[in-house]
Amino acid sequence: MLNKTPGVFLLFFVLISLLSCTDDSQDNSSKNSSEPVNKLSTTESSAAKQQPPIDKKHDWDGIVKHGSLRIIVPYSFQHNDFLPRKSVSYNNELKLITRFAEAHNLTPVFVTVKNFSQMLPSLQQGLGDVIIANLTVTESRKEKVNFTHPVTHVFEQLVVPDAFFGKGNSPELLNGLNIGVRPNTSFWETIQAIKEKQNNINIIELDDKITPDEKFNKIISGEIDAAIVDSNRLTLMSEYRSDIKAVLNLSEERPIAWAVRKNNPVLLRHLNRYIKTEKLLQHIPAQRLGDLDSIKKHRQLRLITRNNASTYFLWKNQLMGFEYDLIKKFAKQQKINLKVLVADNYTQMIDWLEHGYGDIISAGLVKTEKRAELPVLFTDPYLFVQEVIIQRTSEEAIKSIKDLNQRTFYVRKSSSYWNTLNTLIPILKSQGIEFAIEVVPESMETEEIIRGVIDGQYDLTLADSHIIAIESSWHSSIQASLPLTGENGHRWIVRKDGEKIIKELNKFIKKQYKGLFYNVTYNKYFKNSRNMFNSDSRESNDNKISAYDDLIKSLAKEYDFDWRLIAAQINKESKFNPKAKSWAGAKGLLQVMPRTAKEVGISNLEKPENGIRAGLKYMAWINAQLSDDLPVDVRVWFTLAAYNAGLGHLKDARSLATRQGLNPDRWFGNVEKTFLLLSKPKHHKKSRYGYVRGIEPVTYVKQIQALYELYSKKHLDEV
């Protein structure tokens, strides 16, 4: 978060115009920066330049005096630029430095830069106190800054297609290969050193803006033969990509550490002491059995769940989900870290729990007779739901059991719905009522089965009432008819030896259930409309689009956007209500997330000018991440889609378009199609950012396009 001290606040603006990290030891999808614009206003820029660095010569005493630790980071360290599924990510550095700051009563102030070449100079100039960036320690860097004890170690690895057949794993493997590398990275130094010894290597210089997935797509398409990646990054990417592999370590194991200025020895000493203590406490084996004592000893609670709209997902660069939010709150109260493990199905969740890969299952599960036989413990209920029949809206509603005759239900065999329906079969058969049950793949989420019913692929299905609430909040085409059960309680599951954690979880449920935090979280996911603001095409009598036309024109011109497009977007986002607030917490005329607003140095989003400026800065930043080669109109549609769902999901949709034989550089009829596919497990499990309700950005773009056309006709001469 930003320090509210004026000096720190203004200094933030100096950094937010820098370009994204170019070291492949950072995530390049992080061309991202906290400054989502390609330029600052003159006023902001000059004010920032006049502000001197904060006590850069006073070492630790100056930091303590000002009460803040300024942390220089790439964008990806402040944002979830991937969906954590299993691995402990390098973002743990962010958690570690935050805990360090809080342990010393300091406010962590994140100073985000875009261009890796600017990170060390920013530190040396006193614009920050410490760099955390999955930063490889090299001799050339050690001449400029001091490094802490290592926070981890990595290998630089040669990555090739999974089908690659090479000559063993010796350096001769490199001969004749076209290896894609970005300049100004440790990888560039590594491959240049190897080329001096082996001339038969072709180094292909990659664009600075290329993302890891785009780089790997070039390998798969044959544009390049290989690339280089840090081993910890490859571990993360292997969670959703199986088409690449490492065949050769190009370096010895190399330390990843934090950097401080040469004249900051006391800060270095404090950091080293803290890292040493944390490293001793945080050795976490892959498998770990034990109760709450073991969890606290290792400072990590491992949550097993699924990636869907009711449990855990990424939306607008923020990890969300009802189950996730509750368990995160519990972990925070226990003062332990939370790690998320995304399972493919119920069987895998139970297997991971029993074998010690995770500590708790939270995935909207009820206690059935079959599940009660497992060697597990169930908490008290934390959510009560009914199982309700879902059918098409074009049909007459099912009002009684008799209406089920000759109908067919489609459900997963491992679900509680299967048990409910099989219990009913003999009862109804004795009354001359017969229905069938068809099994769908275990990988299918209930939301996807519901869409199958709506689209006519399936006849009927069952769904828990809370899932129906979520789906209904997005659109009105669901017909929920007859409940087949009374209220069942959703429960968390732990191993049978978890008496202590089950006790603490039950205390948590008892205290939180129906309390303020619980009710706010429940309403956020199950009651608040996701489509709160339907676009309004009406104009006022004086032929204005809104009361904010002059303000929109002025700010849109400043950030180089067509004001009629921005007016259409504001209409869609907030219906011109500056006090509007979305289900996810976005505020203002352009519905900006509070964290994004802080990153661009803007507060009080309910003030019309602030709400528009924050949104436009973010829009301009997204636009700057896109290739200059894209057609102007395509950049607009891509920017809008990313504004709605997050830049990461747009990247996934473009990558999927390539794999589907569509054009990744066109929106209509191409990337918009693949956005829709990312709600299906078949596709989102192989995507970096996971599940997204693709219909939302697709509809968002279409509605804004329609409004823009309308406004353009009536305001033709007001570009």
pLDDT by residue (tens digit) across 432-446? Answer: 999 999 999 988 889
- pTM exceeds 0.85, yes or no: no
Q: What does the alpha-carbon distance between residue 306 and residue 344 come to, in Å, rounded to a whole number?
A: 7
The pLDDT of residue 533 is above 80: no
Check residues 610 and 172 and name the one with the higher pLDDT.
610
Catalytic (active site) residue 239: no
C-alpha 11/C-alpha 309 separation (Å) is: 38
pLDDT bracket for residue 19 (50, 70, 90): very low
Does residue 551 surpass a pLDDT of 90? yes
Asked if the domains 156-251 and 387-486 are classified in one and the same CATH topology, the answer is yes
Q: How far is CA 255 from CA 122, 138, 147, 379, in A?
A: 22, 9, 10, 42
Is pLDDT at 476 greater than 80 in this prediction?
Answer: no
Q: Is the pLDDT of residue 13 over 60?
A: no
Q: pLDDT band for position 390 (50/70/90)? A: very high
Residue 714 to residue 557: CA distance in whole angstroms: 19
Q: Does the pLDDT at position 189 exceed 80?
A: yes
Greater confidence, 98 or 331? Answer: 331
Bridge-based pairing of strands 226-230 and 387-392 is: unpaired
pLDDT above 90 covers what percent of the chain?
A: 53
User: Closest Cα to residue 634, out of 600, 605, 663, 601?
Assistant: 663
- For 259-298, what is each residue's pLDDT tens digit? 999 989 999 999 999 988 777 655 556 788 999 999 998 8
pLDDT band at 470; cut points 50, 70, 90: confident
CATH architecture of 387-486: 3-Layer(aba) Sandwich (3.40)
Q: Residues 491-515: what's their mean pLDDT?
A: 96
pLDDT at residue 79, rounded to an integer: 54
CATH architecture, domain 156-251: 3-Layer(aba) Sandwich (3.40)
CATH superfamily of 6-151+258-281: Periplasmic binding protein-like II (3.40.190.10)
Highest mean pLDDT among 23-37, 76-90, 529-543, 626-640: 626-640
| Residues 359, 377: Cα–Cα separation, whole Å | 11
pLDDT at position 410: 97
- pLDDT tens digit sequence for 126-171: 999 999 888 889 888 999 999 999 988 899 999 999 888 765 667 7
Write down the domain spans for the chain.
6-151+258-281, 156-251, 292-383+491-526, 387-486, 549-714
Which residue of the set 573, 599, 672, 696 is catalytic?
A: 573
Higher local confidence (pLDDT), 506 or 288: 506
In this predicted structure, what is the pLDDT of residue 531? 55
Please write the tens of the pLDDT for every residue from 22-40.
333 333 333 333 333 333 2
Looking at every residue in the chain, the average pLDDT score rounds to: 84
- Domain 292-383+491-526 grouped into CATH 2.40.10.10: no
Instruction: Mention every residue, 6+ apart, whose C-beta is less than 8 A from residue 46.
Output: none
583's CB contacts (< 8 A; 6+ apart) are 473, 524, 525, 528, 529, 530, 532
Question: Model confidence at 719, in pLDDT bands (50, 70, 90)?
Answer: low
CB atoms within 10 A of CB 173: 17
CATH 1.10.3720.10 fits 549-714, yes or no: no
